[in-house]
Structure 1
Amino acid sequence: MELTPRIKQILQFVLEKNEPVLEQDIAQHIGVSKRTVQREFDYIAAGLVDYDLSLCKKKNIGVWIDGDAVNLNRLRKEVTETQNNNFSDKNTRRKYLIYELLREKIPKKLFYFSNLFGVSEATISHDLDVVEKKLAGYRLSLIRKPGFGVIVDGKEKDIRTALHYFVNDNMDDESMRSMFFENREALLRAMKNYNSVKVYGLLNSSVVDRVIQVFEDIDENRFNHMAEDSYIGLLIHTAIAVDRIMKGNVIEDTDLPVNVQFDDDYPAAAHLIEALESEFDIKLPKSEFSNILLYIKGSKQNRYNMEDDEELGAEKLLDIIDKLIGVFDATDACEMRQDDELIYGLMMDLQPAIIRIENELYVYNPLEAQIKSEYPEVFAQCRQAAYVIEKATGHKVPDSEVGYLAIHFGAAMERIHERKRRRRPVEIGIVCAGGLGVARLMSTKIRGFLREDVTIKTYWSDEITPYVASKTDFFVSGLVLDNPDIDIVKVSPLINANDIMAIRLKVDEYSRMPSKQEDIDFNEQLSQINEIVSKIKRLTKNYSNYRADSASTMEQLVERMSYVITDSMAAADTLKNDIMKRERVMTQVFPELDFALFHCKTKAVNSIVFKTMTPEDGACFTDESMKNIKAAVFLAAPMDKGETDTEIMGRISSAFVEEEGLLPSIFEENVEETRRIIKKALKTYFNEYISKMQ
Structure 2
Amino acid sequence: MISFPYPRLNQVFDALLEETLPQEELARRFAVSTRTVRTDITTLNDILSQYGAEFVHLRGSGYRLDVHDADRFSLLQQQSRATRSVPRSAKDRVTHLLLRFLAQGEPIKLDDVADSWFVSRASLQSDMTDVRDMVGKYGLTIESKPHYGMKLFGRENAVRACLANLLFQYPAGDPLFGELRGKVLPEIDIAQLREQLHLTMQQYHIRLTDEAEQQLLIYCGIILHRIRTGFLLDELDVSDVEPVFTQAARDVARYLEARFGCGIPETEVAYLSVQIAARRITDASSLQNIDGDENHALVKHILGFINEHYNYDLRGDEQLSSDLLSHIATMMTRAKYQINIPNPLLEHIKQHYPLAYDVTLAAVSSWGKNMPYTITDNEIGYLVLHIGVGLERHYDIGYERHPQALLVCDSGMSTLRLLETKLKREFPQLIVNQVDSLREYEKLEHIEEDFVISMAKVPEKNKPVVTVAPFPTSFQLEQLAKLVLVDRTKPYMLEKFFDATHFCVLNESVSQADLFARICHQIQQEGYVDADFHPSLVERESIVSTMLGEGIALPHSLGLLAKKTVIYTVLAPQGVRWSENETAHVIFLLAISKQDYEEAMAIYDLFVTFMRERAVGRLLASTDFEQFRDIAMDCLSRS
User: How high is the TM-score relative to the length of structure 1?
Assistant: 0.42
TM-score, normalised via structure 2 length: 0.46
Select the structure of larger CA radius of gyration: 1
